[in-house]
Amino acid sequence: MSSSRTVLIAAIALLVGFVAGMFSSGLDSSPPSKESARFHELQDAYQDKNTQFFKLARERDNLIGQVRVLEQMVDTLNAEIDEINAVAATAEEYREHFRLANITADLSDTRDRYPLYDIAVVRLNESGERELVPMQWGLLPSWWKPSKKTKSRKSFQRMTYNARSETIDTKPSYRHAFKRNRVLIPATQFYEHGFYFRLARSPLFAIAGLAEHWSDGTETVDSCTMVTTEANEMVGKVHPRKRMPVILDSEAACARWLNPELTQRGSLDELFVPYDDGLMDQIAEDAG
């Protein structure tokens, strides 16, 4: 074999080997680069976090629902008096009974009233005259601000719709209102655990109350709370915490409670005595 032929065969062999190498390298997967591997790692981590996020979101929604149910249960357990009504009272009856100079409260809605509802309240205006105005049931002191415990005003008001007469002059939530803003809450009956309680000799009476004015610059709330005392025997039989409203059934009692010159609890102690159950009627709920 001539030397030229040998050189040609060698060249062809080299060319075939080169082409074969190129072909095989095109078919085989080369090892991924560090950047590519990191990208896939981050992509997998993102998908995991995304899955965890939606799982936590579902758990959060479930917990929110459970908290709302628990709040309602706590409201029921903590309640002393949490329903009042004045269905039988007309504007003229209000005006005559409470000696009102003015009425701005809406008396057309005669449904039962619960905490956080607007209720009709008798207060003294700047001239010392009595007026009937709407207030939200659940006291919001003028100093209130959101906190970790009560992030919204309504969460605070759920705890302040009853004020115990024994501590209204010392508790921060009530002591200012006790000295400066005592009011009357008109009612024809109050409700407890399946029974309505009414006064035998008067279709309309007053419950002792406290009031506050709150504002944050954009929102204004006039609110009130109902003062409670130890229950008499009749109410105590159905009320688990043995409490009842402080009932003011005479003009003298109402005038004394509204008197701005009386700022010491001792001067009002006689009003906190449980109402005589011999002067009350107890009506089962299903009897109306």
Q: What is the pLDDT along the chain (288 residues), one digit of tens a residue?
A: 555 555 444 444 444 454 444 444 444 445 557 777 777 777 777 777 767 766 776 676 555 544 444 444 334 334 455 566 655 578 899 999 999 999 999 888 777 788 899 999 999 999 999 999 999 999 999 999 988 888 889 999 999 999 999 999 999 999 999 999 999 999 988 988 889 999 998 889 999 999 999 999 899 999 999 999 999 999 999 888 899 999 999 999 999 999 999 999 999 999 999 999 999 999 998 765
Q: Which letter, b or e, does each residue of 254-273 get, where b requires 16 or more Cβ atoms within 10 Å of its Cβ?
A: bebbbeeeeeebeebeebbe
Give the architecture (CATH level 2) of 81-287.
Answer: Alpha-Beta Complex (3.90)
Contact indicator for 133, 104 with CB cutoff of 8 Å = yes
How far is the C-alpha of 182 from the C-alpha of 166, rounded, in Å? 15
- What global pTM score does this model have? 0.71
Distances (CA, A) of 242 to 37, 68, 193, 231, 271: 71, 27, 12, 5, 18
For the chain, give every domain's residue range.
Answer: 36-78, 81-287
SS3 144: coil
Contact indicator for 102, 131 with CB cutoff of 8 Å = yes
Q: What is the largest CA-CA distance in the chain?
A: 141
Instruction: Compute how many other C-beta atoms are within 10 angstroms of the C-beta atom of residue 114.
Output: 16
